[in-house]
Amino acid sequence: MKQLSFTTESPSESRVIASSGVFQIELLKHVGEDDYPTLVEISEHLVPEYGVKASLTKATIHRYFNKAGSLPFIARYRRNIIGYIIGVPLEELSHEPWARLDVNFGKGNTLYTYAFVVMSQYKGNGYAKMLKRVYLSWAKKRGTTRYITGHVKLGVSSKFSGDIQIINRVDNWQGTGYIFEYYSRDLGPLSQPHLQKHNPPLVSRTKSD
């Protein structure tokens, strides 16, 4: 894979949410351009299954990861980013017909799981499950998110726990040749945003970290 080069600006800002030995999950406030190449490289792991649109670019990182209302987390192993999950407000996908047809479009109560990936060599040890569990927990704690939606291969959502509904199915999703399901997960009635009094403070990371 050819090397990617971006102009360095401000470093990433993140908060450690969960950790276990050499593994940790961070909530991102801002993605600095130092981390763009790594995120783009990891996103390439999604292309065979989700199509070329799953590959991140500088523009999509800035648009979704650094967008107010988004909920992005990264997973690290020995300080190296090995995966990420990001939820974006459904309304940010107004250019997609399926998004506009969602009954909750415009209500501000739905996060679409834009991408969820952990590098293959780190699968099978619970890291992906921990990352998703943190994502769902924090989505509910915000107090404004009732539903989490996303696209997965046909049959995958049947393995999910919780209140899951299949909204529709798409043949040949993004030119992959696979049938994908658009699912919705009901997180339950909205409550007041949870005050994160006991979480670590926001920290800035640089290459020397």
Q: H-type helices in the chain, by residue range?
A: 36-43, 47-50, 58-60, 97-100, 127-141
The band of 143, judged by pLDDT with boundaries at 50, 70 and 90, is very high
How much is the CA Rg of the chain, to the nearest whole Å? Answer: 17
Q: φ and ψ at 98, to 5 degrees?
A: -65, -30
Q: pLDDT digit string (tens) for 168-179?
A: 999 999 889 999
- Residue 30: count other Cβ atoms within 10 Å of its Cβ: 15
Q: Is the pLDDT of residue 196 over 80?
A: no
What is the domain partition of the chain in residue ranges?
13-195
pLDDT of residue 9: 63
pLDDT tens, 151-194? 999 999 999 999 999 999 999 998 899 999 999 999 999 875 54
Rounded-to-integer distance, Cα 76 and Cα 82, Å: 5
The residue ranking higher by pLDDT, 7 or 71, is 71
Residue from 138, 11, 6, 128 nearest 70 by CA: 138
Pick the CATH number of 13-195 from 3.40.630.30, 3.40.50.300, 3.30.470.10, 3.90.1330.10: 3.40.630.30
| Residue that the structure tokens 């539903």 belong to | 147
Q: Provide CB contacts within 8 A for 35, sequence distance 6+.
A: 12, 81
